[in-house]
Chains A and B, each alone.
Chain A
Amino acid sequence: MGDHRPRERVAPESKPPSPHFGTWARLLLAVLFLYVFLVGIKALERGIGALGAGFVEDVFATVAHPLAGLAAGVLATVLVQSSSVTTSTIVGLVGAGVLGIETAVPMVMGANIGTTITGTLAALGHVRQNAFFRRAFAAATVHDYFNILAVIALFPLEVLFGAVSRIAIAMASLFDGLLPGVSDDPGPVKRAIESPVDAISGALESLGWERAAGSILIGFGVALIFLSLWQVTTQMRWVVSGQIEAAINRILGKGAGAGAMLIGLLLTVAVQSSSITTSMLVPLAAAGVLTITTVYPVALGANVGTTITALLASVAADNPDAFVVAIAHTTFNLLGILIFYPIPILRRTPVAIAEWAAEVGARRRGLIAVYIIGMFFVLPIVILFIT
């Protein structure tokens, strides 16, 4: 509201018509863009397939080391500011056979770390006032530290024993024959996803662009993934904002716990973005209305909720491993909660680190830049170089 005036008031008897039409239209748009998203995944998969085995081997060699996969996951998510884009692209790459499960799972773990940068950057908006900043930074980075600790706990187990992958494979087997992505029969959903990609491939071939078709399809697929996820998030945020508002007010009334976690999960599933959920809480934490102990379970719920995007992406993939990787994303986040949340001393660890970091950061602002640049850019790049 640029003119800083109260909104135009209307007498109750002359209230404007209900906005339900707009809501339905946006919901329809969200569904449409969800379809576009799946088409994007399929185009990516088809494009990579068209580039041939040499390309696949090159990509695989780059991230073959699990640490490199982890670092690539962090860096890619930081750069696109969306773990949904990264994880669904990973699912697309697995679907195309470029990545195996053992390479993709560390990347998904990295995406979990990378996605926390959005909330951390949102906290910087409160840098003017020390008390506000301390609260905002602690609330934002509790998500960072939880995800980092979860990776510290689970990454070695995954590398040594395939802990996350094995559980994911077992869980995925429960869906054998039920989902389009893991079923032999393509079914109507898959056919609907494949048709536009077939049409584009056919058009490229008829133009005589067979050699460039792979690259064009990859570019087209990535663009569609970006555009569609952005649109799904935008439309769904509009549709469910009232619900989000009511849910946050409920959190305020009832405080931390499983309820807050469930709200974080549901909100993130609705808007398809954990960054939206967690970033919305940062100003409330800065103002002191939400405490770090309330924000924390919401962020954990958001961690699980955001895995819905990769699960959806796996619907478009031909390779059943894509579904396994999507399930591995969910499994990793659930295991993180099971390891850290039930035991009080472990549960408090990310909170204690975040509060300490906020205290230090409030006193020495330069260290915040060191943390953000070091954690999200320098360290992943160094790891990529070394490995």
Chain B
Amino acid sequence: MFSLFRDAQQLENVETQLVGMLETCSRMFELAVGALMRTSDPAAVADEIFALDKELNRTEREIRRELLVHGSVWGAEVDYGLMLAYMSVAKDVERVGDYCKNLWNLADLGVDFSAGPDQAEIQEHFRRVAELVVITTEVFRDQKESAVHQLIPEIENDEKHYDDLMAEFIRSDQPGTFAAPRAILYRYIKRISAHLSNLLTSLVMPVDRLDFYKKSKAIDSE
């Protein structure tokens, strides 16, 4: 009977929605990669990717409303830190979805990475990011704090690598039709990785240090 009463306080619904948003991102990334590698026609997946993007935006708005209601109802008992953290996480996940849609936009503009000399390398980056989205979802869902300390430094290395690749293509003498899509691609996957890293900080960092990971400042290292 009392599951009707107290459980809503646990913000479980918001947690479930955030995990659902991450799963949506995973699907959007898969669709975008399929379009960029021409395993699917970009036009054929357009409706699905736009629908998923709308769903992400709608869920983000829902989460904001639910958090606000939670704060109004519980007053002084509210875990404001957690509410602010979830607000930030919802924004990060929504941004991941946006970058997935932007990747699909590249394919829709005619970019095709399936035929280039760097096809295998790009495919490997895609595999890595797809894996990262899945792992992040699991770590967030199961609140695996120790995994965060392992994962974030790895993501930071990835980001640095993507930055280097982006800079390389921006400075390259190769034709714009070859270099520009790759520079943009690495920028986008760097941002996806960064937002995943940011949302992971909500598991281990104090709220004022969300998005600013430093192991020595983490809650569990104090």
Contact = CB atoms under 8 A, between A and B. Distances in A.
A7 B2 contact: no
B219 interface: yes
- Majority SS at the chain B contact face: helix
Contacts of A252: 65, 69
Interface residues of A, number: 33
B203 A9 contact: yes
A6 B72 contact: no
B143 interface: yes
B206 A241 contact: no
Interface in B49-76: 65-66, 68-74
A267 to B, nearest CB: 10
A273 to B, nearest CB: 13
A12 B15 CA distance: 12
Contacts of B74: 241, 245
A242 B81 contact: no
A242 B69 contact: no
Given A11-B142, A289-B65, A242 B9 contact: yes
A5 B5 contact: no
B2 A20 contact: yes
Interface of A is mostly: helix
Contacts of B9: 241-242, 245
Interface in B184-222: 202-203, 206-208, 219
Contact of B68 (A1, A244, A284): A284
Nearest to A241: B73
Given A3-B81, A6-B82, A6-B203, A246 B8 contact: yes
B85 interface: yes
A4 interface: yes
Contacts of B80: 1, 4
A6 B69 contact: no
Interface string B70-111: 111110011111101100000000000000000000000000
Nearest to B207: A4
A47 B74 CA distance: 39
A173 interface: no
B6 interface: yes
B6 A19 contact: yes
A249 B69 contact: yes
A189 interface: no
A9 B77 CA distance: 17
A280 B68 CA distance: 11
Nearest to B86: A6
B145 interface: yes
Of B6, B9, B73, B207, the most chain A CB neighbours within 10 A belong to B73
Contacts of A244: 73
Contact of B4 (A19, A243, A284): A243
B7 interface: yes
A22 B6 CA distance: 10
A37 B210 CA distance: 48
11 contacts: A1-B80, A3-B81, A5-B219, A11-B144, A12-B142, A22-B6, A23-B6, A241-B8, A243-B5, A248-B69, A289-B65
Given A23-B5, A241-B6, 8 more contacts: A1-B80, A6-B82, A11-B142, A11-B144, A12-B143, A20-B2, A240-B5, A241-B74
